[in-house]
Structure 1
Amino acid sequence: MNKLCMLLTLCLWCAISYAGQADYQVKGRLVDAESGAVIDFADVFLFRTGENQPVKQTFPDKQGIFGFTDVSDESYTLMVRLVGYDVYASQPLAVTGQARIDLGDVRLEPLETGLAEVEVVAEKRQLVYKLDKKVVEASSNMMGSGGSAVDILENTPSIRVDAEGEVTFRGSSGFLVYIDGKPSVFTGTQALEQVPAGHIENIEIITTPSAKHDTDGDVGIINIITKKHSQKGWSGMVNLSGSTWLSRHVDFLLTKQNDRSRWYIGGQWTDRLRKSDFDQEKTTVVGDQTTISHSIGPRTGDSYHYTMKGGWSLELPKTSIKVDLEGGYGGNKRRGDMKYQETRIIKDAEPVTEYYNSIDDYDNDENIGLGSFVVEHRFNQEGHKLSASGYYKYGGNALEYFFNDLNDLQGNRQQGHRAYEAEHRETLRANLDYALPFQNIGKLEAGYQYYSYLEDGDYKMEWWNPETQSFYWRDDIYNTFYFQEGVNSIYAILSGAWKGLEAQAGVRGEHTHTVLRSSVPGADRTKNRFEFFPSVHLGYTFPNDHRLLFSYSRRTTRPQLYYMEPYITYRDFYTAEIGNPDIRPEYINSFEMNYRKAFGENTVSATLFHRSRKDKIERLRVPYMAGVTLDSMANVGHDYSTGLELSVALHPVRWWNTTVNGNIYHYQVKNELSAGGKSESSTNYDILWNNLFALGKYTRLQLDGSFVGPSVTTQGRTDSYWYANVAVRHQLFDRKLTLTLAFKDIFRSACYVSDIQTADLRSLTKIKPKYPQILLTISYTFNSFKAKATQENDDRNEMFEGIKH
């Protein structure tokens, strides 16, 4: 920690020093010509007069400010390009050794009609790397129809989607999800599935977040930016989709933009189904009995959301106010119908084999309500501002329901159980943030945050009695629980720039108070801790626009309640689980170095990364009873990931755009438990190839191929698999109506295989999509939304069902 503090102090000193020395020869600030809003996402080029290849390129910062240094004495033209805006070209600029050209506000004009000026979708890069994040452009991937944020992310380096649709990034599912800078109603993959692709402008992936952001989430933050800016008057969109898996989705968004105020209303009805063939062989050794079981049959999953949202905002000359509300109902279902064979072998006795039909149902639903507000006051146009925000989410009538039966071949119930976990959840968050620019290019940011999460409920279970042919309540399994976590945080960040160098350094202090109460004797816990989390970001632009970025951040993963619940629950008849009230948080140190170079319309980006994690939390599986395994979360030790991400975007000919995203890293996990696993290592890799073809003025064809490499855990491994997708999109009626037809996993080649092996357990699971999925999406937009093509992306997350076995 002392070394980290010394490094932080050094970087802060560097940032202050550089801030006083920056000297742009050409600079300006990008703003929207109609609203005056700052634009922080655009390509800014500098051309020698009379030439058609840029000599320099840059991007604006968060205040819209851009600048060029080391510009030789000649005449230049400045050009700015951004999809949805007319191309800006300046008058000739004469640069001399002493001259300093300040263009002031460069006003970009929104396009009023059509898309002719930006018809080639590929002109907008799929990935843009900034100092502290990378930005995924939503409209650059049309695959999928009726998709969600998961589908936009799936062609991003290091993103994986497993057999049940769970998203992992660089091998971890520990990421936070924000929507427009606010925590999502849901968490993890469920939060990403909640946001329709048609509502998304772009997605920010922040792998080494600065000290301003929450520290939870070991691989960072995924921030979804939704479409907000519109022309005056009415604007809207409607998306409808359905598939051969019987998935169905409807969403709409309607806005009214006045001179200073704006309101919107939207909603969605989504049933996203997954259908898979499930095959599992399991061998458990308990005492002198060995049980060998084989389950095979179909599984179906459904992620469903039925929500409405609305909001209002007011933009005054120096103050803005925004209020958002959302409410509805959502959850996940799963059903399995298995042929089940079980052989019991006891020492010195003949093996006994029995055959059953196994039926299991699972449902986890919740009524939700969400409200948030943001008030921001700008003291000037240079970024000096004070903002306050509040957020509250209520989750009521939440019920997690498990249903399992083992029937003989004549349909008579032999064994069975019903489990009910009723829950109530509340989340509260309040922020106060202050930003003070100084000497034009330096900035100090500071703030405070309070976060609270509360959940309470009970768990009960009824069991089948074959003798009485009825269910009875298991009093020994009934439990109550209460969990509350409060976090008080303060942060400070100092940033600056000098010529081609950008620097940002900060530190965050957090006090965490956790209370766990349970009816299980001896399971109550109260914990307090105070911790520091530093961050450093450096960027340098070399001559000819070679750009190098370096970043570091320290993060944590706080155990969720289900990690700690100290009582046994059942996922299905042969899989039980239990929490660990003494589980510790993970602590992660993440380092990244990114290189980026643009060659005209072609771009190459490479990122070296290293992540070390202490007290890694992992699900372990051990035998529990004959034929039944017990899963538990445990701190298994340390793990390390070191690798390279590579993204190459090429435009070989006018009608073809191709992007290759690759990721390879060495993963090592060092087990420090006396039992339950071992130290393992593997070389993990993914390759994703995306091709976009223009088949005419209004038609696009997309071909995708993906290969997902093998990986290891402390108890086993998962095998590699590959798949291919095809989609075609056609636009009608001045691009207001869009039809998209997608074919997913057209060769039915995606097969998920997990192999867990310990001294007394072997569990081999194979999951394969039941058949390729075909999706059709119809999208209609009007007014300003027609300036940006509606994008729907393929639901890779729907390929499998049943990984949680």
Structure 2
Amino acid sequence: MKKLFTLTFLLTCGLSAVSYAQRPEGAGRPQAEPSTNIPGTIDNSARGNGKVSGTIKDSVSNQPVEFASVSLVDMATNRPVDGSTTDDKGKFSMKNIADGNYKLMLSFIGYKGKQIDKIKIDGRTNIELDDIVLTPDVVQLDAVTVTGQTQMIEERVDRLVYNAEKDITSKGGDATEVMRKVPMLSVDLDGNVSLRGSSNVRVLINNKPSTILASSVADALKQIPADMIKSVEVITSPSAKYDAEGTAGIINIITKKNTLQGATLDFDSGVGNRGANLGLRGGYRTGKMGFNLGGYGRIGYNILGKGDNLQEGVKNGVPFSVRQLTDSKNTYGFGSYNLGWDMDITDKSFITASVRYGTRNSTSSQEISTLNSFGTTPAKNSFRDVDVKDLSGTVDVNVDYTRQLKKPQQEFSILTQFSRNNRTNDFDANLFDSATSSTLLGQEGNRNGSYNQESTVQLDYTSPIKKNQSIEFGGKGIFRQVDSDFTYYSTLNQPRQASSLVYDQNVAATYLSYTISTKNKYTFKVGSRYEYTTIDATQGEVGLSIPNYGNLVPSINVSKTFKGGRTVKAAYNRRLQRPGIQFLNPNINASNPQNISVGNPDLSPELTDQYELSSSWFKKSVYINFSLFARNTNNSIENVRTTSEEGVITTTYGNIGQKQNYGANIFGNVTLFSKWQIGGGVDAYYVYLSNNSNNASLGTSNSGVVASGRVFTSVTLPKGWGIQGFGFTRGRDVQLQGYSTGFRIYSLGVKKEFANKRGSIGMSAENFLSKAFRMNTVLETPTFTQTSINDRYMRGVRVNFSYKLGKMSFDDQPRRRRKSVNNDDVKSGGDGDGGGGQQQAAPAAGGGRPRG
């Protein structure tokens, strides 16, 4: 009841504020004298038969400017009498205008404002204006776009945008390959994403969360085909409108959409030596209603790996050592299917709905040979054959309503979402006395069924205050239910006791954000967000005492534009990171009994203060960005490893104490001869980790510098040919209890577009100069050391084919910004490094039985 009251109170405050903002002028307060100069108020008391229409275009690219604000102002009273926004063709139209003399005021974020005088309406005047051009102005909030043939990078006041649709080397791949090319991001060989040295990144898809993302970001990225990605937004300093979660920031993946009239069907396929893919995407739009349907499947095969793991230490004064040799073979299958619908209810309101289902079928077979010695006891040789099954299904349902109010860019929206991920994570092992023996000694295994469910409702209100100011506020409620049930079996020993985790988490939030742009080209965006979290958790039959908590998180973004195309930005924000289910799940994964992993349901959230200073410069075809950042995290959630009497290493998670990062990023882009583009950058940061544990074996600290770099080149050739190349390298990574060596990834692709532009065929190759890539990991604690050598066989070649059927045309209806829920408030991921043998994260909730 207390949870419900808290959420109801916060959401009621948001609704009351919206209601107050929409009151007639003067309601609830003493009446003032009528103003003769209120540019933000529309006077529509007098209507007529006049009409004004036109088209707005970008002065540089000559492309239509979508969502530009258009106000018709009475010259006599200086009051707006009507307003509109441009559609996806840059067109606007205002009807039923009374007789009189008017001026037209045009504006849009990222462009200089414009005024057109002497518009006279007389009787049934129908005025069709010539094309109107707006000039980009970097003083505004929107994009400072890299000039050049492909415009790969855009910079905005709080984010960087990477336009992935221009990349041909990722054709046939998945989102993991795209993310590796985004400035400031680092993606390891297992697909785990980090931003400026922190894996505490929230990943959204079209501003929406998904329970599969809460379970595993690496797995979720494999479900998104690269061909479907339009752009990737890296939000390093989120405003108060975003959930407080995501210590390092937010990554928003924008997929391609169809908003035109008519019907199309896109076909994409690819095949290679390590995988194949097939995708179909269709869209149909007529009048004010549109539908889209898509399906995508990808399989992976011939994915091999070898490992050599040595761990040594002293337990109770007795030395021990364990050496393991592993051979693994993995296969996987991913599918993603979606159905979307949207409709313009009126000229000012619209509704959207979508259903998405994603499925995963991942299997791994691994042979583990172990030589175990403890003190003077004779060495013991054993062998096990392990099969791991990881299956999941995810459904996301969204229904969103948006209404545009009287003023341009003033709107109110109600966003809802239901998301559920069911997951099965099992392993079975056959045990032998040695690698040369065929005698089966016994079997053991683990069954872990779980689910992760979220229900969300969100209210948002946005409104301009004056010509250069705007305000946003709203409320949000998130209701999460997690259930993980696990059992064990063994024919050799007494199996571990079965248990379960039931974890309910509810979050109520409200926010306020204010933006202003000054005449001297300063832009300020300030805000604050309050979130209150309640938790009710039970492990087995025992209730967990996890306190409720509230957090106030402020954010400040400031930008200044100078002459010569240079922009300077400064930002501060406080971020919050709640542990996701993969960190909480107490299921013991012992597929490799010498390296087991288990979650920690007693984890607390981590708090981070982040500071950023950046400067960018562009001129003609050259763009350069340089940024400095500092991040201080308390209660940081990190991997913690301990050893048992028998030398078994257990990996779990803990709030270690403190983590600090100080670093710099520099990247740039240049276009030569209008055909050749070269881009790249370097990221470097210093990291310091300190454990506050009283346990002598855990009390440790570590520090060092981590650096990475990337380069990208693209050449456009005659007759539809194109060539692209990419390379990425990362140096040694610093962990709390050790480090891992660096790695490199590179690719080369070529594409030929058909003459009618309806299709293309291409070929790409990855890591083609070496058969395998070797990666070393060294872990050091006061009680043991562990050295792992893993060979990854990543050489690959694939051929891709795509074709488009049908024909689309622009309509005259304005296409509006589609809004949706985004729950960016749970820490997900985890590096999954169990040390030697099976390299796998602690099992995450995402499948299993519903609770009664």
Shift of 1:253: 1.1
Change beyond 3 A, Cα 1:221–1:164: same
Partners of 1:696 and 1:716 lie apart in 2 by 51
Distance in 2 (alpha carbons) for counterparts of 1:488 and 1:657:
47
**Matched residue type, 1:134:** L
1:388 and 1:314, CA in 2 relative to 1: closer, same or farther beyond 3 A? same
Change (3 A) 1:683 1:596: same
Counterpart code for 1:751: R
Alpha carbons 1:150, 1:189 under 8 Å: kept: yes
Query: Aligned residue for 1:458?
Result: 485
Report the equivalent of 2:574.
554
Residue 623 (structure 1) aligned with residue 650 (structure 2): no
- Alignment correspondent of 2:671: 651
Cα distance in 2, alignment partners of residues 100 and 235 from structure 1:
37
Q: Say whether residues 1:152 and 2:145 are aligned partners.
A: no
Deviation per CA, 1:445-486, whole angstroms, max 9, x where unpaired?
Answer: 100100011111311000132xxxxxx773x42102201100
SS at match of 1:183: coil
Residues 316-363 of structure 1 deviation map (CA, whole Å, 9 limit, x = unaligned): 31001100012242254333223x13131324x5x4242x43322222
Give the alignment partner of residue 342 of structure 1, picking from 348, 371, 383.
Answer: 371
Would you say 1:270 and 2:298 are equivalent positions? yes
- Report the Cα offset of residue 681 of structure 1: 1.4
| 1:414 equivalent among 435, 438, 441 | 441
- In structure 2, relative to structure 1, the CA distance for the partners of 1:149 and 1:643 (3 Å cut) is same
Task: Tell me the residue number matched to 2:15.
Answer: none
Supply the distance in 2 between the matched residues of 1:127 and 1:655 (Cα, whole angstroms): 17
Match of 1:709 in 2: 731
Could you tell me which residue of structure 1 aligns to residue 530 of structure 2? 509
Equivalent in 194, 200, 203 of residue 174 of structure 1: 200
Q: Which residue matches 1:446?
A: 473
1:663 aligns with 2:678: no
Deviations 1:710-763, CA, capped at 9 Å, x for gaps:
121110011122233211111124222222211111223643221101122221
Quote the offset at 1:489 in angstroms: 0.3
C-alpha deviation, 1:785, in angstroms: 8.4
TM-aligned CA deviation for residue 212 of structure 1:
0.5
Q: Which aligned pairs between 1:631-646 and structure 2 lie closer than 5 A?
A: 631-646=651-666
Q: Secondary structure at the match of 2:218?
A: helix
Tell me how far apart the structure 2 counterparts of residues 427 and 420 of structure 1 sit (CA, whole Å). 24
> Residues of 1 paired with 2:837 and 2:565: CA distance?
46
Q: 1:804 aligns with which of 840, 843, 849?
A: 840
Deviation at 1:132, TM superposition (A): 1.2
Q: Quick one: which amino acid aligns to residue 515 of structure 2?
A: S
User: Which of 696-705 and 255-264 deviates more?
Assistant: 696-705
Structure 1 distance, partners of 2:740, 2:204, is 30
Q: CA deviation at 1:268?
A: 1.3
Change (3 A) 1:154 1:565: closer
Give the conservation status (yes or no) of the 8 Å contact 1:335–1:362.
yes
- Aligned: 1:762 with 2:792: no
Pair 1:124-2:150 in alignment: yes
RMSD between aligned alpha carbons? Answer: 3.4
Q: One-letter code of the match for 2:425?
A: E
Q: CA deviation at 1:546?
A: 1.0
Q: Which amino acid aligns with 2:171?
A: S
Matched-pair identity in %: 18
C-alpha separation between the residues in 1 aligned to 2:756 and 2:69? 35
Partner of 1:113: none
Q: 1:670 to 1:59 in 2, by over 3 A?
A: farther
Q: Do structure 1's residue 544 and structure 2's residue 580 form an aligned pair?
A: no
Equivalent of 1:305 in 315, 327, 334: 334
Q: 1:482 to 1:86 in 2, by over 3 A?
A: closer
Q: Would you say the 8 A contact 2:762–2:800 is kept in 1?
A: yes
Q: CA-to-partner distance for each residue in 1:508-530, whole Å, 9 max, x for gaps?
A: 00110011101265x62342111
Task: Provide Cα deviations, 1:392-417, integer angstroms capped at 9, x if missing partner.
Answer: 01234x31102233323222233542
Determine the structure 1 residue equivalent to 2:745. Answer: 723
1:127-169 per-position Cα deviation (integer Å, ceiling 9, x unaligned): 2110111111012322132122222221122322223222222
Match of 2:419 in 1: 393
Q: What secondary structure, in the 3-state scheme, does the structure 1 residue paired with 2:636 have?
A: strand
What amino acid is aligned across from residue 804 of structure 1 in structure 2?
Q
The alpha-carbon distance between structure 1 residues 780 and 179, as it changes in their structure 2 partners (threshold 3 A), is same
- Tell me, yes or no, if the aligned pair for 1:163 and 1:802 is still in contact at 8 Å: no
- Say how many residue pairs are matched: 699
Q: For 2:183 and 2:699, how far apart are their aligned partners in 1?
A: 29
Moved more, 404-413 or 713-722: 404-413
* Residue 320 (str. 1) matches residue 333 (str. 2): no
Is contact 2:64-2:90 (8 Å) kept? no
Describe the superposition over 1:543-588 as per-residue Cα deviations: whole angstroms up to 9, x where unpaired.
1221112222111111223433446442423222233333221111
- Matched-pair contact (CA < 8 Å) for 2:262–2:808: no
Q: 327-336 vs 767-776, which deviates more? A: 327-336
Q: Distance in 1 between matches of 2:706 and 2:444?
A: 40
Kindly indicate whether residue 423 of structure 2 is the aligned counterpart of residue 402 of structure 1.
no
* 2:459 equivalent in structure 1: 432
In structure 2, runs of 5+ residues without a counterpart are 1-36, 40-52, 71-87, 92-105, 107-111, 118-128, 135-145, 811-830, 842-852
Distance in 2, Cα, partners of 1:45 & 1:456: 55
2:504 to 477, 480, 484: 484
Q: Cα distance 1:367–1:191, how it changes in 2: closer, same or farther (>3 A)? A: closer
Residues 771 and 375 of structure 1: is their aligned pair in 2 closer, same or farther, counting only changes over 3 Å?
Answer: closer
CA shift at 1:613, angstroms?
0.8
Q: Which position in structure 2 is the counterpart of 1:688?
A: 710
Closer/same/farther in 2, CA of residues 303 and 65 from structure 1, 3 Å limit: farther
Q: Distance in 2 between matches of 1:343 and 1:747?
A: 37
Tell me how far apart the structure 2 counterparts of residues 784 and 600 of structure 1 sit (CA, whole Å).
35
Return the offset for 1:299: 2.3
Partner of 1:544, secondary structure, is: coil
**Cross-structure match for 2:115:** 102
Is contact 1:427–1:452 with CA below 8 Å preserved after alignment?
yes
Deviation by residue 1:295-320 (Cα, 9 ceiling, x = unmatched)? 23332344532232101101231001
- Secondary structure at 1:580's aligned position in 2? coil
Instruction: Specify which of 700, 710, 719 is matched with residue 697 of structure 1.
Output: 719
Normalised by the length of structure 2, the TM-score is 0.76
What is the deviation of 1:289?
4.7
Aligned to 1:596: 616
- What amino acid sits opposite 1:102 in the alignment? Q
SS of the residue aligned with 1:555? Answer: strand
Change (3 A) 1:121 1:444: closer
Q: 1:232: how far off?
A: 1.3
| Cα pair 2:773 2:793 within 8 Å, conserved | no
Shift of the 802–750 alpha-carbon distance from structure 1 to 2, 3 Å rule, reads farther
Determine the C-alpha separation between the residues in 2 that align with 1:773 and 1:801. 24
**One-letter identity of the residue aligned with 1:429:** T
State the match for 1:791 in structure 2: none
Partner residue, 2:8: none
Q: Contact (CA 8 Å) 1:275, 1:801: kept in 2 or not?
A: no
Which residue type is aligned with residue 694 of structure 1? T
CA shift in 2, pair 1:65/1:575, >3 Å: farther
Structure 1 SS opposite 2:698: coil
Aligned AA (1:428): S
Which residue in 1 is equivalent to 2:120? none
What amino acid does structure 2 have at the position aligned with 1:325? V
Q: Which amino acid aligns with 2:498?
A: Y
Which of 191, 198, 206 is matched with 1:165 structurally?
191
1:250 to 275, 278, 284: 278
Cα distance in 1 for partners of 2:336, 2:734 equals: 38
Q: Helix, strand or coil for the counterpart of 1:146?
A: coil
